[in-house]
Amino acid sequence: MTNGFLWIKTLHLMFVISWFAGLFYLPRIFVNLAMVPADSTAERDRLLLMARKLYRFMMPLMVLSLVFGLWLWIGYGVGKGSGWMHAKLAIVIILIGFQHGCGRLIKKLAVGADRHSHVWFRWFNEVPTIALLLTLVLVVIKPF
């Protein structure tokens, strides 16, 4: 392993970890938004502001995760031709869709068009956790 490879791998992991922190926390804000009483506009506005800021912060983290991951895959051949890498890429695509879905939810929540319950958002909140577990199994154990 070259020193350059290890730097790229380190940067990839750093941005993936940071991106996942946002993927874990943003749906938790949605849980709190779903529990805000109808007459508490200040609390609702504060949570929406937090959600918007976090979402904007997560975008470059996602992009940098993808850039360094692609660099490892294309530039260094990590996982080329492996079944585990194809499965991992499918999970990454799902996570990108999940993040964009969160952006749509923020817009709906802002105008009061989303009526999901806090219980629904609690289940929604588990998607990144399951994706992370599956990704770790694929990358570490390489089952196929």
Q: How many CB atoms lie within 10 A of CB 41?
A: 10
DSSP 36: S
Q: pLDDT at position 1, please?
A: 72
> What are the contacts of 102-111 at 24+ separation with CB within 8 A?
102/26, 102/27, 102/30, 102/55, 103/55, 105/30, 106/48, 106/51, 106/52, 106/55, 109/30, 109/33, 109/48, 109/51, 110/48
Higher pLDDT, 66 or 38: 66
pLDDT in tens, 99-129: 999 999 999 999 999 999 999 999 999 999 9
DSSP 112: T
pLDDT bin (cut points 50, 70, 90) of residue 81 is very high
Q: pLDDT at position 38, please?
A: 87
User: Mean of the pLDDT values across residues 62-84?
Assistant: 97
Q: For residues 9 and 139, what is the distance between their CA atoms, to the nearest angstrom?
A: 13
pLDDT in tens, 5-58: 999 999 999 999 999 999 999 999 999 999 999 899 999 999 999 999 999 999
Q: How many CB atoms lie within 10 A of CB 135?
A: 18
